[in-house]
Chain A
Amino acid sequence: NAGVTQTPKFRVLKTGQSMTLLCAQDMNHEYMYWYRQDPGMGLRLIHYSVGEGTTAKGEVPDGYNVSRLKKQNFLLGLESAAPSQTSVYFCASTRRGRSSYEQYFGPGTRLTVT
């Protein structure tokens, strides 16, 4: 049981390049989330999904797109990277309904945009 995994762990992009971050969970969770973590700002929600084929915007969605084609995977895309998107990105998942309400986090992806 690997929990939540993220690929890649590190990446350096040039301004204008595109990339996709992959999040995978093996806990059969319905809900998945993408956050970014910046110094002094905590974690901010980018996009989230409450089920396969559905996504919604969070607090800071601009410049990002997401897809949830399979229940276990949640992809975060940057179409044209900007230096302001330099951050650490975390994926999380949780079970729907009355449960522990605990979000399980992946180890993070450190992205630098030059």
Chain B
Amino acid sequence: AQSVTQLDSQVPVFEEAPVELRCNYSSSVSVYLFWYVQYPNQGLQLLLKYLSGSTLVKGINGFEAEFNKSQTSFHLRKPSVHISDTAEYFCAVSDDLQGAQKLVFGQGTRLTINP
């Protein structure tokens, strides 16, 4: 069975500082990995995804993530954060994209940007 672990429940950073949100997964088969963002009182929206190919994936709003198969990790990074990046971030995995495309989500990381 798949599982996703987000190692930090909360990450506070100062504006314009870099940030890394950590995600580790476990799966016995090929996986597809996603990061979703949830702004306050909203639904989730896709930030970026890894399906195949280059292990460095770029997403919206200046975020990027690197797929590391040997470390079973998919950490999310941004070189310089803005107040508007304050949100909750969820890592998700699927081994079912040819089927029902079910996702398994991590616990979430709340990113707080301080001025």
List residues of chain A with CB under 8 Å of any chain B CB: 4, 31, 33, 35, 40-45, 48, 50, 56, 58-59, 90, 92, 94, 100-103, 105-108
Contact = CB atoms under 8 A, between A and B. Distances in A.
Given A48-B100, A101-B51, A101-B97, A108 B32 contact: no
Contacts of A45: 102-104
A30 B78 CA distance: 34
B102 A42 contact: no
Contacts of A41: 107
Q: Which 8 A-B pairs have the closest CB atoms?
A: A105-B43, A42-B105, A43-B105, A105-B44, A102-B46, A42-B107, A107-B43, A42-B108
Interface string B80-115: 000000000010001001001111111110000000
Interface string B1-29: 00010100100000000000000000000
